[in-house]
Amino acid sequence: MAKKTEVKDYIRTIVDFPHEGILFRDVTTLFADPRGFRMAIDQMLHSYAGERIDKVIGLEARGFILGGAIAHQLSVGFVPVRKKGKLPGTTISEEYKLEYGEAIVEIHDDAIQPGEKILLVDDLLATGGTAEAGIKLVERLGGEIIGCVFIIDLPDLGGRKRLENLGMDVTVLCEFEGL
């Protein structure tokens, strides 16, 4: 077995999942390996060393795993951005477009205080729609996104460019061509 030296080495590709023609980039193999998981968290934090970060937001669902670990490492709060109807308190919501249809994400209306510096975290950057919705939620609450960090970018889908066009600092650990 080849030695794993990069985060990308820990990610498995599953062909034709969830349907034919898709190459699914599975980060659960990365999460399951203590060395790989530590490497990913450390690298995700590297670009933001020395930055003031008040809270980390994680996008449902794998962003919760990463965001929780990063928030713990930074000794800051963690805030989930969830699908509509999953949070128990008073929320604000943001609708965004998917490949086929639309979706809505929500955040508690008291989760971010005006002026707080926020790091947005998720596992995969595809079209950028979910991340953009998360950014809009934070900004509506008066928070400032200081960066968006992802393990994987699928550059063919344009998400990074979309977020950069919004003025966001985007960090990715690896890229995979195609869908």
Number of other residues whose CB lies within 10 A of the CB of residue 140: 14
Joined tokens for residue 174? 């690896």
Nearest residue to 83 (alpha-carbon basis) of 65, 58, 66, 113: 58
Q: Which of 38, 52, 60, 62 is catalytic?
A: 62
User: Across-strand partners of 150?
Assistant: 122, 172
Chain center to CA of 96: 16
Q: Which of 20, 99, 102, 177 is catalytic?
A: 99
Give the span between the Cα atoms of 26 and 123, in whole angstroms: 10
Identify whether 116 is a catalytic site residue. no
SS3 85: coil
Identify whether 95 is a catalytic site residue. no
Give the span between the Cα atoms of 10 and 59, in whole angstroms: 21
Annotated active-site positions, please?
Answer: 62, 99
